[in-house]
Amino acid sequence: MRATGDRNILDEFAETFCTIVQKRCDYIIVSGFVAISSGRSRATEDIDMIIPKLSIESFTKLHDDLDSEGFVCMQSDDPAEVHSYLTDNLSVRYTWRDKPLPEMEIKFAKDKLDEYQLKTRLKLPLTGLDIWFSSIDMNVAFKEEYLKSDKDLKDAEHLRKVYPEMIDEKEIDKIKQMIRVLRLS
């Protein structure tokens, strides 16, 4: 288990990036980084973020803020083009301007499930990070019902062990049903 004082490049990258994004919109960090920042030992080079759908004007301000703080979008320097990727339900990746890794993969919320994730976001003191994460129940449900890779199932198992007091099986079942309706049908 990592101590809250243990910092690495992913932590610093995530916290810096999230601080900039928070000035313009809500966000959540989802998937593997939730488990990794909660003590699971496994490698990753990217962090997954969901933000609400933003107008071109609002997104341009966010993009310009990120650019002025040393981040670059790998797909394009043009905020209108980046926005068009996001509105087409594609993801975009930002890195430090002078370093190709790590990456922040950003997606717009695409359905009621993503909107629900944003509404139920939380901070996880165990991580030692001042970052908004999707709920533990949401991460477990996605990993067990939707993603299902060996790595994801081990992430879900880890989250269940580390956060037993935060696990609500009824909520996980509700989210899994939402996944089946909104993502798997």
Least confident of 5-14, 124-133, 167-176: 5-14
Q: What's the distance, CA 174 to chain centroid?
A: 21
Residue 115 identity (one-letter amino acid): E
Angle at 30 between CA 9 and CA 57, to 5 degrees: 90
Structural domains in the chain plus CATH codes? 9-135 (3.10.450)
- Looking at residue 8, what is its pLDDT? 84
Ramachandran sector of residue 128 (left: φ over 0; alpha: ψ -120 to 50; beta: rest) = left
d(CA 124, CA 137): 13
Q: For residue 89, what are its two tokens? A: 């339900």
- Looking at residue 42, what is its pLDDT? 87
- 44: pLDDT confidence band, cut at 50, 70 and 90? confident
* pTM of structure: 0.94
- 45: pLDDT confidence band, cut at 50, 70 and 90? confident
**Alpha carbon distances (Å) from 19 to 14, 64, 69, 87, 148:** 8, 14, 11, 23, 31
Reported as a single tens digit per residue, the pLDDT across 117-157 is 999 999 999 999 999 999 999 999 999 999 999 999 999 99
- 7: pLDDT confidence band, cut at 50, 70 and 90? low
76 secondary structure, DSSP code? -
d(CA 138, CA 42): 20
